[in-house]
Structure 1
Amino acid sequence: MTSFRELHFQDSPFLLPNAWDVGSALAFVAAGYPAIGTTSFGIASSTGMPDGGRTSKAVTSALAVQLTRLPVHVTTDIEDGYSDDPVEVADYVADLSRLGVAGVNIEDSRDGHLVDPVILAAKISEIKNRCPNMFINARVDNFWFSEDASVDAVVQRSSSYASAGADGIFVPGALAAEDIRQLTMAITLPVNVLAQPALSVPELGLLGIRRVSSGSLPYRAAIDAAVGAIGLLRDGGATTVATSYWEMQERLEAFNKAVK
């Protein structure tokens, strides 16, 4: 089986679907993806909370317990580590590591604003000391929150995180192709972006991207599809074609049987 780290060094970008519950994860497994991430937005939203407020900690842990029983690699979105204390963050990640989680995303922002890069670097260093095999994907939020949104600023932060022990750099946001090219040329670690509206996965690969994450796109698309399905019924249309109840039930029964 290809290791989680090796997935970042293939001929084409590693496409990572992000799940928000067991049902969505099982669907991605059935579709043949070798690894699954979690989405903090999808998890928070499905529990009635906004993203980014450290509200997804307990639910992410509980979901990781379930997802690590699947025959795929699992990486979790842990926001900013849910604490300002590097030791507490490393304790949390160590618990995930014991479950079998292969990687974490950890970001350099809090409450919608960038924090001093020294803060995230300290967390990364402590995590790597405790869990040397954990793939740490350091999220650099300059473009995401439109703060100091330049290639040079992202590269500078990325260098700090690489020195602290990060294994990959995640730069979310709708980025121009030339900005992506400059980032991948300047950053020595595998660079991860969100699926881009104007660039296909193969095109991102030609720009040097190693990993493309779906982020919360599947969750948001599922919500839109649900509203659309009911709208069709309301307007006298046909029932939407979907995976059958029985097929999804069978996946869940097999999952729970495997757990026992």
Structure 2
Amino acid sequence: MSQIQRGLRFQQLHTAEAIFLMPNAWDVGSALMLASCGFPAIATTSAGVAFSLGFPDQEAAVSRETMLDRVGSIAAASPLPVSADLQSGYGASPEEVGETIAAAIRAGVVGANIEDYSGNPAQALFDREHAVARVRAARRAADASGVPFVLTARSDVYLTGASNVFAEAVERCNAYREAGADCLFVPGASDPKTIEALVREINAPLTVVMGLTGSPLTVPQLGSLGSPRFQCNK
């Protein structure tokens, strides 16, 4: 499939009735192994890439160029749609985020997630207005490429101990949706009641990740809660 065909296929997966499972790859070998198992799409894991290079899971530890080189090699080798974990977009400004998305698309991916984690201990999350501007810049860059692209906005409210965490997650995710995100991602939310409530309150497809908290939920159970995309972190 061409990149445009893979992009269209990835978009279709997000509008289908059935939940789909997307495993995380960290290099060409793992991507090809996972593709051979029958999964419909592949995600990359920034943590896995960093660990495979002997670095900690920190954005500053692996440069944007190194990450995009690895992501590009996975996209070139995989017959499936590939979505890249681009952490915080490799820059705080909306302009830097847009540049990262454009470069990732040139590398061959048809989806990516960017997060609102700032890396600043004094303020773990970018303030909402700035985070929205970053998502908007990512959307503009994706649209300018002409490649069908699924933009996932990730909010780390559950991982950073934000106050009134559920309400903050919903408000941020809906703001990111209005800014152009196709899919929302709230890692750290793993119990059925929370997931079901997030699906109900967020006006977009919601990604659920397993492997962070040891949640016992199965894929069918997650599907029954309304989540379309299940990402396996381990």
The TM-score, its normalising length taken from structure 2, stands at: 0.86
Picking from 85, 99, 105, the partner of 1:91 is 99
Contact 2:21 2:40 in 1 (8 A): no
Contact 1:142 1:150 in 2 (8 A): yes
The 5 Å alignment of 1:1-260 reads 3-56=9-62, 57-69=64-76, 70-111=78-119, 113-132=124-143, 133-148=148-163, 150-195=165-210, 197-215=215-233, 217=234
Q: Aligned with 2:95: secondary structure?
A: helix
Distance in structure 2 (CA, Å) of the matches to 1:129 and 1:136: 11
Contact 1:155 1:187 in 2 (8 A): yes
Q: 5+ unaligned residues in a row in structure 1: which ranges?
A: 218-260
The aligned amino acid for 1:15 is L
Q: Aligned with 1:197: secondary structure?
A: coil
Shift of 1:28: 0.5
Deviation per residue, 1:10-63 (Å, 9 max, x gap): 232121110111111110011122211110111112222221333332332112
Q: Aligned with 2:21: secondary structure?
A: strand
The aligned amino acid for 2:49 is I
Pair member with larger Rg: 1
Q: What's the RMSD between the two structures over aligned residues?
A: 1.7
The aligned amino acid for 1:180 is I
Q: Aligned with 2:61: secondary structure?
A: coil
Distance in structure 2 (CA, Å) of the matches to 1:72 and 1:188: 27
Pair 1:134–1:54, CA change in 2 (3 A): farther
Q: Aligned with 1:54: secondary structure?
A: helix
Deviation per residue, 1:178-220 (Å, 9 max, x gap): 11111101111100011262211110111111111112x1xxx
Q: Aligned with 2:226: secondary structure?
A: coil
Shift of 1:65: 2.0
Distance in structure 1 (CA, Å) of the matches to 2:25 and 2:164: 28
The TM-score, its normalising length taken from structure 1, stands at: 0.78
Contact 1:174 1:197 in 2 (8 A): no
Q: Aligned with 1:76: secondary structure?
A: strand
Q: 5+ unaligned residues in a row in structure 2: which ranges?
A: none
Q: Aligned with 1:148: secondary structure?
A: coil
Contact 2:68 2:107 in 1 (8 A): no
Q: Aligned with 1:16: secondary structure?
A: strand
